[in-house]
Every structure is written in C-alpha cells, then in structure tokens.
Amino acid sequence: MLFKAARTGPFWLLAGTFAICGASTNGLIQTHFVPAAHDHGMPITAAASLLAVIGVFDVVGTIASGWFTDRFDARRLLAVYYALRGISLLFLPMLLGPSVHPPMLFFIVFYGLDWVATVPPTVALCREHYGDDSAIVFGWVLASHQVGAALVAFVGGVVRDVFGEYDMTWYASGALCAAAALMALVIRRRPTALVPAVV
C-alpha cells in the first residue's frame, strides 16, 4: 500500500505537512519549550506546568477540529491551523521571560488548541483520496510526523548548543509552518463519494 500511495501527489503533500506538524509540536515545543523558558529565567516547574496546560487545551482543540472538519474544507482548515501555528511561533521569543504573564498564557492556550487540530482534517483528506485504504495510508503519514519530530528535536538541541539560544529554531519552525499551510492548499479535491481505493 505504501508504494501505491507514494506514487500519488496527495500522499507526499500530506506526509510533508504532517512531518512539519510533528516538527513544530513534539519535536519543538514538547522537547525544547521547558529548557528555552529556563534559559530566560523561568523556573523549570513553572515551564513544565505551562506545557501541561498545552496538553489540556489540546483535547479541546482536537474535538473542535473534528467538528470543523465535518463542516468545512479540510485543506483550508489545515492551511489555517498551520498558518496560525507559524505566526504564534514567531512571537514566542518575545514572550519568554522569568515569569508567567498574560501574553504567555495566551500563547499556551492557543498552541494547545492547535496542537492536534491538524489530525482530523489530515485523516479526512486521507479518506477522501484513498478510500478503504485510508487508515493504512494515514499510518504512513503519521510515520512522517515522528520523523519530523525527531529531526527538529535533534536540530533544536544543536542550535541551542552552537548559538546559546533557541530563537533561530522558533523562526525556522514558523517558516516551516507557513510552507505546510501552502502545501495543504495545493492538495487537490476529490468527491468523497466517488473515491476508489488506490490501485
């Protein structure tokens, strides 16, 4: 199934966007937010608590995204989610500091809502393009999420060691999210009811 899906454009666009999803969540924020906040003087326990709050709002965001995906174009939803995530990352270096303040809390809540919001529209697009084989295809798309997360987790640490700060990592990840938004819009639409399995 992987080889069949890999011969189609939507697979690579979905895998690419989901790799960036993993890079900007598990690889970046989950791995590097606490040490980055600590670099700016925030106690580790406070930074870890903020990360936990992201997890709470992640649940709300995922449920809301499922509702939106049932009613709106999944490609456009993905584009909006990635664009907003990228913009928020560009502001993060200005928000980091020794204490928790309202703008930082706003970032945490917003990022939590957007954390797994990309999953329902990605699953919907897999179903739209690959029909009965969509679950298998989504499994391979999910594998790209893990690869993206691993790469950015590693690169982020290297950037911190070389430059002594994470700012370049936040900006680069914001740019990657902008690219993911464009990739989502490039995915062509197909009528769900007429989609056969990939042959």
Which CATH number is 26's domain given? 1.20.1250.20
194 domain-assigned: no
Q: What's the domain count of the chain?
A: 1
Q: What is the pLDDT of residue 187?
A: 92
192 domain-assigned: no
**Percentage of residues of the chain with pLDDT beyond 90:** 85
196 domain-assigned: no
pLDDT in tens, 157-193: 999 999 999 999 999 999 999 999 999 999 987 654 4
Query: Which amino acid is located at 188 in the chain?
Result: R
68 domain-assigned: yes
Q: What is the pLDDT of residue 191?
A: 55
pLDDT above 50 (res 13): yes
Q: What is the pLDDT of residue 192?
A: 47
- Could you tell me the pLDDT band of residue 195, with boundaries at 50, 70 and 90? very low
123 domain-assigned: yes
36 domain-assigned: yes
Tell me how far apart the alpha carbons of residues 173 and 134 are, in angstroms, rounded to a whole number: 28
Nearest to 89 by CA among 16, 179, 187: 179
Tell me how far apart the alpha carbons of residues 153 and 34 are, in angstroms, rounded to a whole number: 13
- Mean pLDDT on 26-47: 95
**Domain span including residue 61:** 19-187
- Mean pLDDT on 10-20: 95
195 domain-assigned: no
Neighbours of 161 (CB within 10 A): 8
Question: What does pTM read for this prediction?
Answer: 0.89
150 domain-assigned: yes
pLDDT in tens, 67-118: 999 999 999 999 999 999 999 999 999 999 999 999 999 999 999 999 989 9
Length of the chain: 199
Instruction: Provide the terminal-to-terminal Cα distance of the chain, rounded to the nearest Å.
Output: 9
